[in-house]
Structure 1
């Protein structure tokens, strides 16, 4: 799907579908979402450039993501999407600065894109030039990532409180629900770690793009838009640091939760071990009197059976009392 944004006389004109070459060249922003082959050919003919394929957009080497062809800049980075729906992922998005037109090629819709498109319809002043569109779009992405990281921080605080509150539970009811609570905490920490890593990947991609554009800003960015790059670099740097802090916190909480689980498992294993040791002497006594030898003095004794039961009970109780005295139970 192709959407063109054209500003004329301070008013925004938004069109979907195929447009003549003259209209495409006059557009300040052309957004391609899952473009068809016909749409790609129309763009390439109108703007005299060659768009990267989806496979080329997924290449990880810097020279394939950030480069110049003639007067056009090609900038590609992975972007986080779907964080609110729980079906999150990263998708490469290519930004092409071609003269007066910004071209975006994407195969998913991060929320920042739809939010910026709505803002642009209310405030056409954001679309004064192609570089202004790109930088304001980056601002929207950074704001969105900041919101996501704030939410992840709140989620981790709740996970931390839940984990340690569960660990302090001593009643039988809390002990029975402990496994389910700790499982929920582990799942939450896994999601937080995954989203945080993808958010950091997006921020690092933005950092590379801003560094590249900063080196090319003499020809790629208008003078009035250059301060936006400095603000973006500062915001991205602070978010990278915050994402690193959240990642370290998630690792700490993960270690703490796993430690709690190990303590519970050790307690269970210790209980089984003590029970096994306590049952060994009665088993020995029962084994002795279960042997079928002809000459066993107790076979003819009237009180042999009660005596054997008493010996087995005492041999089971005495080790348990000893373990409790030592503090092993």
Structure 2
């Protein structure tokens, strides 16, 4: 789908579909979402550009993601999307920018992009220039990532409280409920780690783009937008540090939760071990008097059966008392 944004008479005009070539040349921002071959050809013919294919956008080397062709920059980076829906992922988005317009090529819709499109309709000042439009989109992405990381931090705090409160109230909580709680905590921590790693990937891509554009700033970035680049780089750097902190905290909590689970499992194994040791002497007594020898004096004794039971009970109780005295129970 093709959407073009043009500023006319102080207001933003939005058009969907393939317009006339002249309308494409007058557009400030052309947004291509899963473009068809006809839409790509229309943009290429109107602006004399060679649009990157989806396969080329997936390349990981910097030379394929950040390059210049004559008076046009091609900038590609992965962007986090789908966090609110719970089916998050990363999608490569290419920014094609020159002195005339900005073109975005994408195959998914991060929330920051839909939010920026809505703002652009209300605030035509966001579309004053191609470089200003791109930097305003980056600001929206950074704000969105800050919100995501803040929410991830809150989710991690809740998971931490749930895990440690469950560990403290272990005798009062049923085993099934505690296991279900620990499972939810592990799932939450896994999602936190996945979101922070993908957010960090987005921030790294933004850092590369901003660094690359800074080197080309005399040609592609207007003087009034240079300060915006510096501010964005500082914000991105701070979010990278915060994402790294959250990732380290998630790893620490994961180790702590696994340690709690191991303690529970060790307690269960210890219980079975004590039970096995306590039952070994009674089993020995029962085995002795279960042998089919003809001459066993206790078999003819009137109190032989209750005496054997008593010996079994005493031989089972003594190991338990010994374990308690040693502090093993």
Aligned residue for 1:55? 55
Match of 1:115, SS state, is helix
Corresponding residue number in structure 2 for 1:145:
145
CA distance in 2: counterparts of 1:146 and 1:180, whole angstroms: 31
8 Å CA contact 1:5–1:29 kept in 2: the answer is yes
- Residue 3 of structure 2 aligns with which residue? 3
Partner of 1:293, secondary structure, is coil
- 1:300 shift after superposition: 2.0
SS of 1:282's partner is: helix
- Alignment of structure 1 residues 1-329 onto 2, 5 Å: 1-173=1-173, 176-329=176-329
Distance 1:114 1:170 in 2: 46
Alpha-carbon distance, 1:174 to partner: 5.2
Q: Kindly state the Cα deviation for residue 297 of structure 1 after the two structures are TM-superposed.
A: 2.0
Output one character per residue of 1:270-316: Cα deviation in whole Å (capped at 9) or x when no partner: 00100000001111111111112222222222222212111111111
Structure 1 residue 9, shift from structure 2 partner:
2.4
CA–CA separation in structure 2 for the residues paired with 1:38 and 1:119: 28
Q: Is the Cα contact below 8 Å between 2:98 and 2:220 reproduced in 1?
A: no
| Structure 1 unaligned blocks of 5 or more | none
Cα distance per residue 1:111-161 (max 9 Å; x no partner): 000000000000001100111110000000000000001111111111111
CA distance in 2, matches of 1:79, 1:284: 69
Q: CA deviation at 1:170?
A: 4.1
CA distance in 1, matches of 2:120, 2:176: 54
Contact 2:2–2:17 under 8 Å retained in 1: yes
- Structure 1 SS opposite 2:96: strand
Which whole-Å CA distance do the structure 1 matches of 2:80 and 2:156 have between them?
Answer: 19
Q: Is the Cα contact below 8 Å between 1:65 and 1:74 reproduced in 2?
A: yes
Deviation for aligned residue 1:177: 2.3
Number of paired residues? 329
Deviates more, 1:169-178 or 1:95-104: 169-178
SS in 1 for 2:90: strand
What is the DSSP-based 3-state SS (H/G/I as helix, E as strand, rest coil) of the residue aligned with 1:85? coil
Question: Which range moves more in the overlay, 115-124 or 8-17?
Answer: 8-17
Alpha-carbon contact 2:166-2:173 (below 8 Å) kept: no
**Offset, 1:176:** 4.9
CA shift at 1:76, angstroms? Answer: 0.2
What 5-or-longer segments of structure 2 have no aligned partner?
A: none
The answer on whether the counterparts of 1:47 and 1:98 sit within 8 Å (CA) in structure 2 is no
Q: For the residues of structure 2 that align with 1:259 and 1:215, how far apart are their CA atoms?
A: 49
Q: How far 1:324 sits from its partner (Å)?
A: 1.1
CA distance in 1, matches of 2:170, 2:9: 71
The 1-side partners of 2:307 and 2:165 are apart by 50
Aligned-residue offset at 1:68: 0.4
Residue-by-residue CA offset, 1:21-76 (whole Å, 9 max, x unaligned) = 11111100000001011111111111111111111101100000000011110000
SS at match of 1:266: helix
Paired residue secondary structure (1:76): strand
Say which SS state the counterpart of residue 51 (structure 1) adopts: coil
